[in-house]
Structure 1
Amino acid sequence: MFLGPLSLALSGVAVWFAGAFFLIGFLVFIKTTAKKEKRARPIEPVVGAPVRDGLGRVEPAERSSQSVEAEPAASVDRPAAWSLALIRALEWKRFEDVCQQFYEKKGIRSETTPLGPDGGIDIRLFQDESGGPTSIVQCKAWGERLVGVKPVRELLGVMTHEKIGKAFFMTSGGYTDEAKAIAQANRITLIDGAMLLMMIERLPEGERQDLLAFATAGDYATPTCPSCGIKMRAVQGKGGRPDFWGCHHYPRCRQVLGMRRNVEAAASGMAR
């Protein structure tokens, strides 16, 4: 009679211990599985963060083959017509692309130079069946600033090196008298902002409006990084230095551009 209740009590204790061990084992299994999943999860790269090698050193920036989209610009009222003010507000890459598209609409095959050092050539024009460029174009989106003799002489040097007999220099501003004299003597056609506006206004209405839509699509005032191809960001200068444009990929990309005061307000407003 005594052994019966004792056996029953021992059986209950054994069942309790078995349940406890099972619960502990189950919790350990879940914790181990969670750790494995965490280790297996890929780490997303942080855009703009420095890339380090195995020794912790920062690797030099590499130009991406894909364009990285910058932060969307705030919506602004789009110009309803072409104007000299609009031409002078275009950032350097958009100005260059507008010039290239203008030649295309005139029926002239053209190619822009890829990002990076352009060797003094922004656009190549092909006007015969030889397959090679017949003339070259240099573009300067300098707002109202006058292009001096130095850039024109540099273009002349590129013409000699490339064995090209004709060139165009296109700017949003104007030219000094010395630059005009050098160009006139060396088959370099100078096109200032006012002349470019006149040439655009002579296009058929549909093509003119298409070019306007192309020119003002998205953020057309904030400059493009010459190395990365993305929109830059306004950086406040320190120690009395002027404000400037810096790359979003800093410190991987240390490209900087000066600000044009006449379009700075509009550009910074669109970049917010």
Structure 2
Amino acid sequence: MARRKKSSPAEDLIDLVALLPWYVGVVLAVVAYVVLHRIAMAPLVAFKPGDVSGAMVGGVGRGLASVGQYILPLLCLAGAAISAWRRRTRISLLDSATRSDAPSVLNGMSWREFEMLVGESFRLQGYAVEENHTPGPDDGVDLVLRKSGERYLVQCKQWRALKVGVPVVRELYGAMAAMGAAGGFVVTSGQFTSEAQEFANGRNLRLIDGAKLHHLLRQAEAAKSTGQPKPERSAERAPGSDTGSANAPAPSCPKCAQTMVRRTAKKGANAGQQFWGCSDYPRCRGTA
């Protein structure tokens, strides 16, 4: 998705503060006012006769501080207000999405709201989420996740009619290699083509369709209200994480979101090795 072009440093500052929790923006506004106010009200320093440059620098500094003590805090407060609004919007979107399983709930959102909802679902799984607010094309990355020192990339596709094909998955995979990410997620309100699923199979990529996203959102909402372990531990493990431990909780099927069960391969090159298989087998042949 293309982002709007920013036209001034003031907008850059507002966007930067908006990425922080709203209360951090308020604290920055207070600190900025206190510091600049002290500079603006500080007594003039006596300069040596003929030191014109020193007098000019001191006067300009006081003048900038006199104006900045009001402008800079206002910009920080504007960023804090945007941050608070985004937080409230995410909570509202999460509530709306968890009340109904109807596809129209996701399809009725704007692409920006869909990205915010996906970001909130990962926040509730314990990830630190960085939304892409830079101008221009997003290069296949809408969200950057961080957890346990690792970075993961997310591409969101709110496609109502077409299935998400393999070019989108390849694009994210290329971005992962370029940015050195540990894994990635492609999230859609619809479905994926079989070619996309085949490409992601065996790679540090997870494809999350509309049905699975609903499942994760409901788990996240339940975990938030009950204080139980977050869904990333039981439903959506990070790409590349170990799923072979005997004590690993059962993940959800990447194709149908049903709970998976541990099975042992009986033939082929992987004979004797354990893997996760969909509990709805043979109707669904999803594995992990």
The structure having more radius of gyration, on CA atoms, is 1
Using the size of structure 1 for normalisation, the TM-score is 0.45
The structure carrying a bigger helix percent of its residues is: 2
Greater relative CO, 1 or 2 (CA 8 Å, sep 6+):
1
Using the size of structure 2 for normalisation, the TM-score is 0.43
